[in-house]
Amino acid sequence: MSLTATRARPLIAAVLLGALAPATTLRADDIEPLSVAVIKATTGLCKRGETCHTDRAGSWTPKKAIAILAVSVAEQADIDLYADIEVSTRPEMYQCSGDDSRGCIFRAKYAGPGLVDYAATSGSTYVGSNITNTTITFPSGYGLMVQAGEPIYVHLDVRNGSLIDLQVDQDAWIYYVEAD
């Protein structure tokens, strides 16, 4: 590598980082407080080979009207597990289709990396990991409005394709501001 190329890399990095820096400096006074609600949801024990569908697996009810700005759901499957997650003000899962999407906030599906069992009938052999996050953030100035006293549910539909019984727990983080 030439000496010129070696010197150019830091310069390119500085130019790129400079492009990412904000034009103005934010002060603490400029930032509006953001609140977080963590909804803990569970199917309970989901036996191997079963589908564990749970409406209202977890819920949270805001005391004041809120505007939801973002939702984050951690995908936590290390084994052959399929999960369909819905965050909604609707009391049952799978009501967020068609023309009426009122109350529908977030939906994600994920599957674990898959079981490698080689025709085994016992044990918990698996390969890989699928620990990532699924997040939805709304554009600046937009949010989903939820009235005071209206419950927000986390619905789960889990299919346990592993060789073991699982306790399936799922957290959903709701990032919001109180509405005026």
Residue 50 gets which letter from DSSP? -
Query: With 60 as the cut, is the pLDDT of residue 13 above it?
Result: no
Residue 122 gets which letter from DSSP? S
The predicted structure's pLDDT at residue 4:
42
What CATH number corresponds to the domain at position 143? 2.60.120
Determine the structural domain holding residue 159 and report its residue range: 33-178
Enter the pTM of the model. 0.74
Cα torsion angle, 95, 86, 144, 171, sign:
positive
- 25-33 long-range contacts, CB within 8 A, separation 24+: 32/177, 33/177
Return the bridge partners of 127, or none. none
Q: 27 pLDDT band (50/70/90 cuts)?
A: confident
The predicted structure's pLDDT at residue 6:
41
pLDDT digits (tens, 9 = 90+) for 84-99: 889 999 999 988 777 7
The predicted structure's pLDDT at residue 83:
83
pLDDT digits (tens, 9 = 90+) for 121-143: 665 555 555 556 688 899 988 99
Report which residue type is found at 89. T
Does 40 fall in a domain? yes
Total structural domains in the chain?
A: 1
Over range 65-70, report the average pLDDT. 96
